Structure 1
C-alpha cells in the first residue's frame, strides 16, 4: 500500500484484513463504479495509483487487465506514452445490470415469478437448466427445478415452465439461500461498515484518491457478499437476516464517500495532494 493517511489506513485495514483480493474482480468494481459510460476512460496512471492504495502491485494489475481484455470486459487504447482503459459494450452492459442491485437503497421485486422444470431424460435433463443458472438470477430448488423473477422467458429450451404470484418459502429453502456462514458474513460486514463510519466521522476530509479508494473497497466488499446469493425478496431469507440493515449501512457510507468525476480523479492522480 502506497503512503496514505492514518485515517485511510485504519479504514482500509478493516475491509482487507490481509485478504488477497482477486485483482481482476476488483478492477471490474473500479470501472463499474467510476466509468460505466461509453465515453468514460481511466488512465493507466490513475488506475495504478488507485490499486496501489489498495495494496496491489503494478504487475498484478497488468495481469488482471490482460485477463479482462481477453474475456471481453476491458479495452485499452494508447495515448502518448501511456494507456487509457475502458469498459467494452459487454462490460458496460454487465455493470449496468448489476448497478441497481448494488447501489439502490430500496430493492423492488416483481409480483410474478416463474419455475423452470427439467425432465430426467438425456434431452430434458439438468444440463438444460445450466444456461439459466449462469445468469445468477435463478434459485435452485431441488435437482430439477429453478425459480426466477418475472414472466416465463420466451424460449424454454424444452423445459416445463410455470408462472406464479404466490409462493411459500419453508425453512430449508431459506437456509439454502442464506446458510449460517453467509448470515455471519453479513453481520461481520455490517459491523465493519459501522466502524468505518465512526472512523470517518472523527476525521477530516480525505485526499481525493484515498476517498475514492476507500469507496471502491467498500463497494467491492459489499458486492462480493451480495452476489453470493440470488436477488430475492426478504421472505426467502431466514429470520434475523441482516441483509437489509447491511444495505442501509452501505448506502449511508456511500453518502460519506461520494464518487468523483473522472477529470477530478485524473487530476488527483497527477498532482500530489497535501493532507
Structure 2
C-alpha cells in the first residue's frame, strides 16, 4: 500500500486523527507514546490511511482550536501535538462502550432524562439534545429521553462536565405499559436506521476480517491501516446504538454480529498496528 491510496468514503481526516490518538496516542498502553506526536510522524501515519499532508495540518488546526489537541515538544525537541486533559477524559470515557460493549439486560431497567431549558438559553437545549443522542438516548416524549439504565454513570459524568446538570433530572425505573416494551422501543429509537449503520459496518469490514483470517503473517503497516479504518467506523456505533436488550430487538438484528467482527479485528490487528506506529515514532 502506498501513501497515495485514496481515503475510503465516510472517513474524514479529523475523525481519523481522533481515532489514531484514541488507539495509539494516550500512553499507558504498550507502544503508545503518551507524549506529543511529532507533526512529521503524524503526517506519515495518516498518510498510511490515505490522508494527505495539507488535510492533516488543517484537521490538526481545527482540533487544536476546539481544545482537543495541544502543541508541545517531543523529547528530541521536535514540534508535535498531544491530547488535552479534556480530550483524554473523553477518550477514556469512550473506552467502555467502544471496547467493552455488553448488551443491556431487560431486568436492568431504564434511565429517564427529563429536561427543561429556558428560552433565553436555547443553545444549551440544542447541546443537551445532541449529547443525549450521542449517549444513545431515544426520545420517549418531548423533553423526556430514555436509555438502558447501564448508561447512568456516563450520562451523569457527561452532563456535569458540560455544565448541563442543572437542567436535567434523571430517573431509573421500569416500563409498565400500556403497549409491549418491544413495541415502545420501536418508537423511542429509529431501529431501521441503527440496523442500517450496523450493516454498513459489516459490508465494509467483514470482508477485511475474512481476508485476515486466511493470512498467517500480519504485516504491521497493513494491520495498522485496516485496524484504524475499522475503529474509525466502529467507534460511533456504540453511541448511536446504546446496546438495547436483545429480547426487545428484531430477530435479524445485526448489532451483535458487527460487535463480534470489530472485536475479532481488534484482537487480530491492534498490536501489529502498534508496532508500525512505534516504528514511525522511533
Is this a same-fold pair by TM over 0.5? yes
Q: Residue 259 of structure 1 aligns to a residue in which SS?
A: helix
In structure 2, the partner of 1:113 is: 110
CA distance in 1, matches of 2:261, 2:68: 30
- Aligned CA distance change for structure 1 residues 199 and 162 (closer, same or farther; 3 Å): closer
Residue 129 of structure 1, CA deviation: 8.2
The 2-side partners of 1:202 and 1:244 are apart by 23
Mapped partners of 1:209, 1:235: distance in 2:
41
Paired with 2:111 and 2:10, the residues of 1 have a C-alpha distance of 38
Which one scores higher on RCO, CA 8 angstroms, separation ≥ 6? Answer: 1
- After TM superposition, the structure 1 = structure 2 runs for residues 178-257 of structure 1, keeping only pairs within 5 Å, are 178-235=190-247, 237-257=249-269
Query: For the residues of structure 2 that align with 1:49 and 1:71, how far apart are their CA atoms?
Result: 23
Deviation at 1:69, TM superposition (A): 1.0
Aligned to 2:15: 25
Gaps of 5+ in 2: none
Change (3 A) 1:31 1:260: farther
Contact 2:221 2:273 (C-alpha < 8 Å) held by counterparts: no
Counterpart-to-counterpart distance in 2, 1:63 and 1:124: 32
**The structure with more helix, counted as a fraction of residues:** 2
Q: Which residue of 1 aligns with 2:279?
A: 268
Match of 2:173 in 1: 164
Residue 116 of structure 1 contacts residue 162 of structure 1 at CA under 8 Å; is this kept in 2? yes
What's the CA shift for 1:265? 4.0
- Equivalent residues of 2:114, 2:168 under 8 A apart: yes
Does the aligned pair in 1 maintain the 2:227–2:273 contact within 8 Å?
A: no
Residue matched to 1:71: 66
Q: TM-score, normalised by structure 1?
A: 0.76
- Of 89, 106, 114, 1:93 maps to 89
Shift in Å, 1:232: 3.7
Q: How many residues align?
A: 260
Secondary structure at 2:235 match in 1: helix
Q: Is the 8 A contact 1:30 1:216 kept in 2?
A: yes
**TM-score (structure 2 length as normaliser):** 0.74
Aligned-residue CA RMSD in angstroms? 3.8
Cα distance in 1 between the residues matched to 2:277 and 2:169: 52
Alpha-carbon spacing, 1:126–1:74, altered in 2? closer, same or farther (3 Å): closer
Deviation at 1:96?
0.8
